[in-house]
Structure 1
Amino acid sequence: SHSIHSLRDTTAVYNKWSPEEDEILRNAVARVTKNNTTDVAGKWVRIAQLVPHRTPIQCSARWSGALNKDITRGKWTTDEDNLLIAAVEHEVTVLETPCADINWQKIAMAVPGRTGVQCAARYQEALDPGIRKGKWLDEEDVLLKEGLMKYGKSWVKIAAGIPNRTQRQCRTRWLQIFPKMKEEDKIRMEALCGSPIAVNEKVKKKKTRR
């Protein structure tokens, strides 16, 4: 039988990390890494055991996304872009790895300070030569609206239905065309997936506060 205390310890919470939790995570990472540097797969399981109410995935994401000082965050430099492009080209052309099977953790080893997640996002959203840039076609706008009606704001699914357009491009295009729609169409689309204008205003306010 489990005590109430032990049940609490195994119940994950999904709210914002506190400064105290960050400190506990830093200490846990230092302790586990110091004792064992070979078992990478089980590392985050052991770390999470030292951080009450947090899962291995939460601990890994928090460490990579905010606390690890070895990870570079923010805008990519031209040198980083070039390293990333070269690493992907080598993987695809020399090693003949299909794009869908690229190991982004491996790619990240060629770009110091960046994670696999960062490399995947940067390449797929900005550097992939297959990305279509420039003016949107009427047919693409139709696919965008159909995607929104079918999937709401699941940009991954929407972008998958519009050849060579990225999630970011789809979001940006929706912000551009929504104000130009007829009032009845706006009401219908808002009922299905909310107003993009409201979301955009929140983003602007956050930037202004900074």
Structure 2
Amino acid sequence: MLSCGERSGRGQVTTADADLGRGGFDDPVARERLVAVLTETASAYARRTGCAARTGGRVEGVGVTTTRRDHKPVADATGSCAGVVDARTAARWGVHTAREITRDPAPLENCALGGRSGTFLYGFTASYGPSAREARRRLDHRSDDHSPRRAGAYELTARCPGAAGTALFQAETLHDEDDPKSAAPDVDHEGLRAALQRFAERSAKKHGCGAVEGV
């Protein structure tokens, strides 16, 4: 996702679909090769179309969660989950693990807080550009269908420059399909809203966005 100027919504998005072979996304070298091709393609198109985007350098290392084992103790979180909940809140919520991405700004940022074995309990997501529009479309579709609102689901927004457009930040309790008996305890609604505020403000600041606001 490249911003072609400071005006909100002005930018370009390039995507890639690929068969990465037997290892798939578990192979870090294959991930890096795919991202290298994608960034070169996006940069070349931006130059041809007069998009004055800052493209940076070559991406080295594409750290993504590819298995259920890719979690860490919540106290060791240094990326998107860092600072979302303090130790006291984590203990009260039964949170022991975190799945996260790096601190670097991305079109889609997420943080999943889980139980001792990594079972999903709470999820936080920051969506920008097309990711935000798709997330908003799903919310609107759910409202049109009068689908019940998931317990402990909250949203915030922020106006951002360039391709990021209007960002959407979401927090919700998660359902673990592999462990249906495991679920978040009685939802601390005030605490969950406060955690979303912290998550959203940190993400918005990385993207140069304006103030975070309620939906």
Q: Same fold (TM over 0.5)?
A: no
Decide which structure has greater strand share.
2
Query: Relative contact order: is structure 1 or structure 2 higher (C-alpha 8 Å, sep ≥ 6)?
Result: 2
**TM-score (normalizing by structure 1):** 0.25
The structure having more radius of gyration, on CA atoms, is 1
